[in-house]
Amino acid sequence: MDEKSSLPTQTSLTNSILTRHSTRNFLPRAVPIEHLKESLLIAQHAPSNSNIQPWRAIFLSGSKLDTLKAALLEAAQNGKPQIPPIPEAFRHYRSELGRELFGKSMGIARDDMPGRRAAELRNYYFFGAPLVGIIYMDRSLSHADSLSVGMWLQTLILELTEKGLDTCIEGSVAGYPAVIREELAITDGMDILCGLAVGYGDPESQANQMVSQRDSWDTSIEIRP
């Protein structure tokens, strides 16, 4: 019996959790702004440390988004992102994801460095998404508050999923914080956490057929009666 077949009767929420996955190729189809506003209204009810609601975001589309994409692409082509390395004990997850995405799904050979580089640069184009959010938080806050932002973001993407929209959380774009701050007039007192690509996934894209596997919950979680 697989993990999904052993789950309780699926609710709308359960279905959104199980069907959500990272979309890496979007159709050029506009997202109804009302879908975004309704989802943001619900996400505002996410829990937060001392109810300080630390999440901040700017959503862009059209020419303003095109300008941001161009600036990030230029930065990525000319310099390395400011992203902390993944600790050795966790690197196998990234390697496994790369094999699944580049090799099996996209057909890019391991030694095809130009092909891999081109695929990586699509992160900074937000995979063609017509709507993009930049998520940030006051730098004076703590790790507990970043957890609150995460709960808000999860609530938001599940609401968007329920409305038939696809998403991809992008930590890669946070590697160029100076570019984002300059383009969006965000002050230095804010930490750029991630980007969020929103739109309608291309159903014919091979990259969108890949759904990353998850460990069994009991490999990292204990229940102590």
Is residue 98 over pLDDT 80? no
Rounded to whole angstroms, the Cα distance separating 221 from 114 reads 40
pLDDT of residue 1: 43
**Do the beta carbons of residue 48 and residue 150 sit within 8 Å?**
no
pLDDT of residue 70: 97
Q: Give the residue among 215, 208, 212 at the shortest CA–CA distance from 97.
A: 212
The residue-averaged pLDDT of 116-144 equals 93
The per-residue pLDDT for range 176-224, each reduced to its tens digit, is 999 999 999 999 999 999 999 999 999 999 888 888 889 999 999 999 9
Task: End-to-end CA distance of the chain: give it in Å, rounded.
Answer: 26
**Do the beta carbons of residue 150 and residue 171 sit within 8 Å?**
no
What's the alpha-carbon Rg for the chain, to the nearest Å?
Answer: 18
Cα dihedral 80/95/111/175 (nearest 10): -10
pLDDT of residue 83: 87
> At 146, phi and psi to the nearest 5?
-65, -30
Taking each helix axis as running N to C, give the angle between helix 62-78 and helix 113-121, from 0 to 180 degrees, rounded to the nearest 10. 140
Within 8 A by CB and 6+ apart from 47, the residues are 148, 151
CATH architecture of the domain with residue range 20-82+125-207:
3-Layer(aba) Sandwich (3.40)
